[in-house]
């Protein structure tokens, strides 16, 4: 394929050299004449392991060149990959000026050039951009169609390259993600990256735009978490490197997909208690742990958000389907569902509760004491079935994935359903009044 790569920084240079190595004919475009000349002469404008040899091989094979002229690069090409910088603005916003200029350059070049034999050209954003960028910046440029005989499709294809190992990452990325609503464009990108040993994830443009931010935020959080843990434990003579080395060997909970799913707040007898204990250890040693403090605050905001959503709906009867802190247990200690019920009752709502596991007559010890302190009239609030709980309720707040709860929702179809765990299925999500807690 004939590929144009706009922007010859770390991402653009590695992408251009990598694609050229797979037999594609690649032209790099940059406003910096020095970068262009370096590429032409087989030298890399960025310092990266293995990039110099890869780039030189592409140039010597005639598969890779560079120019400052977008028009000559675009002529007859199949794909434009936008790899320009998106630096922070004055207020932390992404500065998209280079993206805007690049898209305008592509459009203007098409007015005086010829399309490939297929007539189709994919304009693909590879830079990290906020969700909505393709829709608000790229799409309007081609709203009236592309110039001449060009047929343009748009996509977002985020990169996952780390400086210092970007060449290796190019050939072995964690995943390949294509966000596009255009089938021809998606097929083009499938062909472009077919040499990679993994399937392509086809998603919406907005999902593709969001993914890189989620990844980088999580990476930053992991670094901060390890550093906060080390600060907490150092006054006790603990080597946090040893702690975290063993920590990382748990691929069931720690380094795993477990817990990484948008849902309701955490609770139970362990997480809230142990997080408070860590914060206390930090305080007694004058150690700041803003990430741990922020974790508790974020959890509280989730409960508050759901409470405010219920209050905003013009209904006073609420069915709470699920009470324990997670499914398949009767543990009510620090359950966010108990907290939610308590807040709604305090606001004057009529609350009916069904939980397939919870039986107040079987609660013992700390579990019993906790719920008696928070919901002293639990017996009166509990319904024998989800149908009974839903009877007369205008709002169903659902945290249980029990089958009978699912069937009751489908048959009763309450006016409003607030899904707290996201596993109710498409038939429930298609109900008119359905909304997720974070989606």
pLDDT in tens, 250-266: 999 999 999 999 999 99
Nearest C-alpha neighbor of 302 from the set 409, 436, 131, 130: 436
Inter-helix orientation angle 205-233/271-284, to 10°:
50
User: Would you say residue 17 has pLDDT above 90?
Assistant: yes
Phi/psi at 81 (5° precision): -105, 115
Q: What is the number of alpha carbons within 13 Å of residue 199 lying toward its C-beta?
A: 3
Task: Encode 163-185: b = buried (16+ Cβ within 10 Å), e = exposed.
Answer: eeebbebbeebeebbbbbebeeb
- Give residue 140's pLDDT: 97
Contacts of 176 (CB under 8 A, 6+ apart): 157, 193, 196, 198, 199, 200, 201
Q: What is the mean pLDDT of residues 382-386?
A: 95
- Give the residue among 61, 66, 81 at the shortest CA–CA distance from 27: 66
Q: How confident is the model at residue 328 (pLDDT cuts 50, 70, 90)?
A: confident
* CA-based end-to-end distance of the chain: 38
92-103: burial string, b at 16+ Cβ within 10 Å, e else: eebebebbeebb
pLDDT band at 366 (very low <50, low <70, confident <90, very high): confident
Pull the structure tokens for residue 108: 């203007």
What per-residue confidence (pLDDT) applies to 360?
85
Cβ neighbours, 10 Å, residue 372 = 14
Are the C-beta atoms of residues 33 and 66 closer than 8 Å to each other? no
Strand 79-82 and strand 395-398: pairing?
unpaired
| Phi-psi label, residue 37: left if phi above 0, alpha if psi -120 to 50, beta otherwise | alpha
Per-residue pLDDT for 428 more than 90? yes
Domains of the chain with CATH codes: 2-209 (3.40.50.720), 298-436 (3.40.50.720)
- Pick 401 or 74 by higher pLDDT: 74
CB 111 within 8 A of CB 147: yes
Q: For strand 2-6 and strand 79-82, is the pairing parallel, antiparallel, or unpaired?
A: parallel
Give dist(CA 373, CA 198) in Å, integer.
53
pLDDT of residue 115: 97
Q: What is the reported pLDDT for 327?
A: 85
Closest alpha carbon to 79 in 9, 2, 138? 2
* Least trusted range by pLDDT, from 52-56, 186-190, 409-413: 409-413
| Average pLDDT of the segment spanning 10-36 | 97
Structure-derived torsion over alpha carbons of residues 107, 109, 113, 114, reported in degrees to the nearest 10: -40
Q: How crowded is the C-beta side of 325, counted as CA atoms within 13 Å?
A: 18
Task: Return the percentage of the chain with pLDDT > 90, whole number.
Answer: 95
Specify the pairing of strand 2-6 against strand 25-29.
parallel
Residue 363 — very low, low, confident or very high, per pLDDT cuts 50/70/90? confident
Is 270 one of the annotated active-site residues of the chain?
yes
* Neighbour order of strands in the sheet with 64-67: 64-67, 25-29, 2-6, 79-82, 120-125, 151-156, 176-179, 200-203
At 361 the pLDDT is 83
Backbone angles phi, psi at 21, to 5 degrees: -70, -15
Place of tokens 């149908």: 387
Residue 360 DSSP label = G
What average pLDDT does range 116-145 have in this prediction? 97
Arithmetic mean of pLDDT, 42-55 = 96
pLDDT of 1 above 90:
yes
Q: Which two tokens stand for residue 223?
A: 């670094």
Residues 6+ apart with CB under 8 A from 368: none
Query: Does residue 362 register a pLDDT over 90?
Result: no
What's the gap between Cα 326 and its chain centre? Answer: 23
Among residues 83, 102, 270, 317, which one is catalytic?
A: 270
The Cα–Cα gap between 233 and 230 comes to: 5
Asked whether the beta carbons of 12 and 66 are under 8 A apart, the reply is no
pLDDT tens track for 289-302? 999 999 999 999 99
Please state, rounded to an integer, the average pLDDT across all residues of the chain.
Answer: 96
- Give the whole-angstrom CA distance, residue 38 versus residue 67: 11
Q: What CA–CA distance (Å, rounded) separates 186 from 166?
A: 24
Residue 177 has pLDDT above 90, yes or no: yes
Alpha-carbon 368 to chain mean position: 38
Q: What is the pLDDT of residue 104?
A: 97
What percent of the chain is predicted at pLDDT more than 70? 100
Contacts of 205 by beta carbon, 8 Å cutoff, 6+ apart: 134, 135, 154, 155, 156, 179, 180, 181
Which DSSP symbol is given to 407?
H
| pLDDT interval class at 288 (50, 70, 90) | very high
- Any idea what the Cα angle at residue 256 is, between residues 253 and 261, rounded to 5°? 95
């Amino acid at each position: 394929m004939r590929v144009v790569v706009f922007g010859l920084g770390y991402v653009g240079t590695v992408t251009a050299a990598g694609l050229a190595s797979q037999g594609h004919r690649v032209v790099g475009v940059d406003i910096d004449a020095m970068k262009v000349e370096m590429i032409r002469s087989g030298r890399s404008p960025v310092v990266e392991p293995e990039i110099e040899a890869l780039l030189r091989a592409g140039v010597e094979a005639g598969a890779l060149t560079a120019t400052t002229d977008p028009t000559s690069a675009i002529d007859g090409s199949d794909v434009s990959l936008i790899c320009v910088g998106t630096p922070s603005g004055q207020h932390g916003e992404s500065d998209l000026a280079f993206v805007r200029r690049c898209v305008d350059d592509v459009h203007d070049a098409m007015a005086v050039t010829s399309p490939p034999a297929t007539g189709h050209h994919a304009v693909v954003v590879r830079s990290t951009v906020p969700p909505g960028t393709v829709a608000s910046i790229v799409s309007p440029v081609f709203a009236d169609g592309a110039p001449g005989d060009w047929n343009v499709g748009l996509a977002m294809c985020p990169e996952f390259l780390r400086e210092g190992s970007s060449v290796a990452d190019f050939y072995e990325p964690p995943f390949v993600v294509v966000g596009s609503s255009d089938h021809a464009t998606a097929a083009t990108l499938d062909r472009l990256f077919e040499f990679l040993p993994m399937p392509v994830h086809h998603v919406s443009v907005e999902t593709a735009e969001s993914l890189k931010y989620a990844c980088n935020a999580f990476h930053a959080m992991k670094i901060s978490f390890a550093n906060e843990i080390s600060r907490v434990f150092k006054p006790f003579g603990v080597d946090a490197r040893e702690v975290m080395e063993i920590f990382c060997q748990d691929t069931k909970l720690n380094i795993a997909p477990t817990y990484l799913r948008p849902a309701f707040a955490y609770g139970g007898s362990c997480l809230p208690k142990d997080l408070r204990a860590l914060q206390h250890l930090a305080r007694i040693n004058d150690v700041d742990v803003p990430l741990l403090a922020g974790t508790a605050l974020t959890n509280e905001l989730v409960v508050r958000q759901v409470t405010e959503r219920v209050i905003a709906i013009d209904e006073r009867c609420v069915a709470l389907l699920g009470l324990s802190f997670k499914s398949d247990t009767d543990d009510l200690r620090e359950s966010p569902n108990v907290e939610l019920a308590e807040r709604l009752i305090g606001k004057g709502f009529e609350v009916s509760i069904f939980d397939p596991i919870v039986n107040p007559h079987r609660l013992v010890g700390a579990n019993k004491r906790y719920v008696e302190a928070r919901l002293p009239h639990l017996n009166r609030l509990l319904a024998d079935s989800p149908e009974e709980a839903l009877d007369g309720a205008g709002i169903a707040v659902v945290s249980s994935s029990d089958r009978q709860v699912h069937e009751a929702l489908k048959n009763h179809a309450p006016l409003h359903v607030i899904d707290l765990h996201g596993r109710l299925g498409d038939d429930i999500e298609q109900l008119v009044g359905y909304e997720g807690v974070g989606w």
